[in-house]
A and B are shown apart, each in its own frame.
Chain A
Amino acid sequence: MSSITWGGAALDRARTRHLLQEYGVYAALVLLFAVAVVLNTSFLSIGNIRAQLLQVTPVLVVALGMALVIGTEGIDLSVGAVIALAAAVAPLYLGYGFVGMLAVVLLVGAVSGALGGAMVAFVRVQPIVATLSLMIGLRGLANIINGNSGKPVTDGAVATLGIGNFLGVPVMTWVAAGCVALVALLVRRTTFGRQLVAIGDNRQASRLAGLPVRRVLVTVYVISGVLAALAGLMLVGYSAESDPSTVGLNYELSAITAVVVGGTPLTGGRVRVLGTVAGALFMQLIAAVLQQHNVYQSYQQIIEAVIICFAVYAAQERGTR
């Protein structure tokens, strides 16, 4: 390596890279938003913004949990299936009132997460495999519970969560904002959050520093499961039906994309909550702009794929290349 001869250039490159990693997603978001508005001023209409928020909010909620999991150098592929399971369970417990149903649904999410987390923390199965088996199995279970068909869900409270407004902003977005605040607080200010990041950065040193590694790992997957279940409820409310064979499909993908585009490295040791929000918004904005300009879904997918690759590549640390 001839870093001495072009030392200046290397330094500049490192700086650029650092800036890109830190602020790239915000800049891209603002830029894209400006482009969207310039191309089509009706993009700013209340109706459109509301529609976009309704679409992105469940993804964002799932992505928050995913960001925590990725922060521990893990991955949770089961979130889409947990959404389906939550959707399947919800109609069964509507008789207990909204709060009772909510409690049961979140508990289902927590148990699913705990299963994956226990496999990761105690049996030391790779996260991708542990959650893959849950991904396959839980969706099947959800379908069995629902008898392989969609069920209409007409409960008022669930519908409010799905499509209701409060102060002109969708209720689910308020809920998601609350989640963002909580997770941000969790990561930045709590013992648990700091331990999580330390474990993701250097697990061995964390163990020797006396951190409760297993407990933190299990908890992280539980949180991811609970957030996914919450997102499942939002989706049920939004579509007014519970169809486990389609609901939450590919959400693990969208969530991972949001986290990765938001600049959280897949190698753990860092959780970017606001970055994840920006990543989710960015991906939604891309989809919306392309859709409004009649770019086919096919090309949207290809563009998304390129963005994922680029984001991961950009977020990779120099040392690992």
Chain B
Amino acid sequence: MSPTALQPTALPPEPSPAPGPGPAPTPLSEQLAYQLQRRGAPAVLVLVAAIASITSSAFPTWGNISTILVGNNFVWLLALGMTFVIITGGIDLSVGSMYALGGVLGAYGAQHGGSALAIVLPLVVGAAWGGVQGLLVARARMAPFIVTLAGLLGARGLMQALSNEGATTYIVPKNSFFASLGAGTWVPLVILAVFFALGALLLARTRFGATLTAMGGNENAAVLMGLPVVRAKVLVYLLSGTLAAAAGALGAARLQSGVTTIGVGYELTAIASVVIGGTLLTGGSGSVGGTLSGVLLLGVIHNLIDSHFSQYGSAFTDTVNGGFLAAVVLLQTLLSRTQQLP
């Protein structure tokens, strides 16, 4: 026993308990399940990348890798925001629409007001939209999926209204500061890296992050522990909306216009990446690092399908995504059952 243990005087004379139970040995299956849950995605990612590198000489080139890394037009940020929402046990179906809306707003701002407006406008609208959704979920206690489903419709409507039913495409002026945010390889890479690093810190190293995880794991307990559950719930949807709008704006900067047809179904890919990255859809457990592995894994697979099965195109990717998601969810459910046995 450590020196800070209870004073012997406080101990009863007769039973004299054995010093602490000590670390009870965890069953192997349980450890395996736990590790698979946490490190499954990175492991599969490394495996897939290794096989791809060995079998194809085109895969491990910098040109190809940079395509994987920045070819997604910042869509990965949707998965980042979704990670936070899913960790609280919620879901945000509006991010795809918000991505499109953010893009149109960014391009509109860039064309009419310059780079500052192009950055501020999407962020403000995204935050406001997400905040309202958060209030409906946290205060009116409506189901997250129905609120954000309505949000999906509404945000897309707003985007189309802004673009005159898709007839007007706003153009980001070349050589503006805003356009430079999405240009080339390195700037987008740095931006993505910064976002993910900040996200990881927020989730793992702040009280806010701990609150999100705790309320996803056991909301009742979180309330009883005095954590600001309602506020965190509003904030998490606000954060997701803001991130989605920012991603859209950055995507517009890269594409140099506000594309109105973009973003349909992106929320599904985001959810799939998050879940594949090991975050529990029931909430309470997950990490930004896992999500990063998830998006990278789907990115690599997408890349491989593009180069080997191009005749099937995106359909094949969707099928793989869906299959992956189903498999991971089934695995998660079964794993959590192994671990929960008393």
Indicate if A touches B (C-beta under 8 A).
yes
Q: Which residues of A contact B (CB under 8 A)?
A: 75, 119, 123-126, 128-130, 132-144, 147-148, 245, 249, 253, 256, 260, 266, 296-302, 304-306, 308-309, 312-313, 316, 320-321
Contact A136 B161 (CB under 8 A): no
Contact B160 A140 (CB under 8 A): no
**Stretch of B19-27, B182-190, B241-249, B328-336 that contacts chain A:** B328-336
A222 to B284, CA, bound (A): 32
Contact A126 B160 (CB under 8 A): no
Q: 17 new A-B pairs (CB below 8 Å) besides A139-B322, A245-B315, A297-B165?
A: A123-B330, A125-B330, A129-B275, A132-B268, A133-B329, A134-B326, A143-B319, A148-B312, A266-B143, A297-B157, A298-B158, A298-B161, A299-B161, A301-B160, A306-B150, A312-B146, A321-B140
A126 to B157, CA, bound (A): 30
- Interface of chain B residues 18 through 41 with chain A (CB within 8 A): none
A298-B149 contact, Cβ under 8 Å, with A134-B322, A313-B140, A313-B142: no
A303 to B15, CA, bound (A): 71
A124 to B334, CA, bound (A): 9
Question: What per-residue 1/0 map shows which CB atoms of B78-120 lie under 8 Å from chain A?
Answer: 0000000000000100000000000000000000000000000
B136, B149, B314, B322: the one contacting A137 at CB < 8 Å is: B322
Contact A137 B319 (CB under 8 A): yes
Which A residues touch B281, using CB under 8 A?
126, 129
A225 to B48, CA, bound (A): 34
Interface centre among B153, B281, B329, B333 (most CB of A within 10 A): B153
Main SS at interface, chain B: helix
A301 to B325, CA, bound (A): 29
Interface centre among A75, A136, A142, A297 (most CB of B within 10 A): A136
A137 to B324, CA, bound (A): 9
- Closest 5 A/B residue pairs (Cβ): A137-B322, A140-B318, A143-B315, A301-B157, A140-B319
Which B residues touch A128, using CB under 8 A?
91, 145
Contact B157 A140 (CB under 8 A): no
Contact B154 A305 (CB under 8 A): yes
Which B residues touch A124, using CB under 8 A?
333
Identify 18 residue pairs between A and B in the complex whose beta-carbon atoms are under 8 Å apart, listed by A's number: A75-B145, A119-B329, A129-B329, A130-B326, A133-B326, A137-B323, A140-B318, A298-B158, A299-B157, A301-B153, A302-B153, A302-B161, A306-B154, A308-B146, A308-B153, A316-B141, A316-B142, A320-B141
Any A CB within 8 A of the CB of B203: no
A75, A136, A141, A144: the one contacting B268 at CB < 8 Å is: A136
A139, A302, A312, A316: the one contacting B158 at CB < 8 Å is: A302
B13 to chain A, nearest CB (A): 48
B145, B160, B272, B320: the one contacting A298 at CB < 8 Å is: B160
A142 to B268, CA, bound (A): 17
Any A CB within 8 A of the CB of B208: no
A304 to B151, CA, bound (A): 10
Question: What per-residue 1/0 map shows which CB atoms of B248-290 lie under 8 Å from chain A?
Answer: 0000000000000000110011011001000001100000000
Which A residues touch B154, using CB under 8 A?
301-302, 305-306
A312 to B334, CA, bound (A): 33
Which A residues touch B149, using CB under 8 A?
253, 256, 308
Contact A137 B321 (CB under 8 A): yes
- Interface of chain B residues 136 through 185 with chain A (CB within 8 A): 136, 140-143, 145-147, 149-154, 156-162, 165
A199 to chain B, nearest CB (A): 19
B82 to chain A, nearest CB (A): 12
Q: Which residues of B contact A (CB under 8 A)?
A: 91, 136, 140-143, 145-147, 149-154, 156-162, 165, 264-265, 268-269, 271-272, 275, 281-282, 311-323, 325-326, 329-330, 333-334
CB-based nearest B residue for A138 = B322
B143, B264, B315, B326: the one contacting A119 at CB < 8 Å is: B326
A128 to B315, CA, bound (A): 22
Contact B315 A300 (CB under 8 A): no
A130 to chain B, nearest CB (A): 7
B72 to chain A, nearest CB (A): 17
Contact B160 A297 (CB under 8 A): yes
A299 to B165, CA, bound (A): 10
Which A residues touch B158, using CB under 8 A?
298, 302
B136, B314, B330: the one contacting A309 at CB < 8 Å is: B136
B147, B282, B321: the one contacting A136 at CB < 8 Å is: B321
A298-B165 contact, Cβ under 8 Å, with A133-B322, A137-B322, A137-B325: yes
A256 to B136, CA, bound (A): 18
Which B residues touch A139, using CB under 8 A?
315, 318, 322
A316 to chain B, nearest CB (A): 7
Which A residues touch B147, using CB under 8 A?
309, 312
Contact B145 A144 (CB under 8 A): no
A139 to B315, CA, bound (A): 7
Which B residues touch A296, using CB under 8 A?
160-161, 165
Contact A125 B329 (CB under 8 A): yes
B334 to chain A, nearest CB (A): 7
A126, A137, A299, A305: the one contacting B150 at CB < 8 Å is: A305
Which A residues touch B141, using CB under 8 A?
316, 320-321
A137-B316 contact, Cβ under 8 Å, with A125-B333, A302-B154: no
A270 to chain B, nearest CB (A): 16
CB-based nearest A residue for B132 = A309
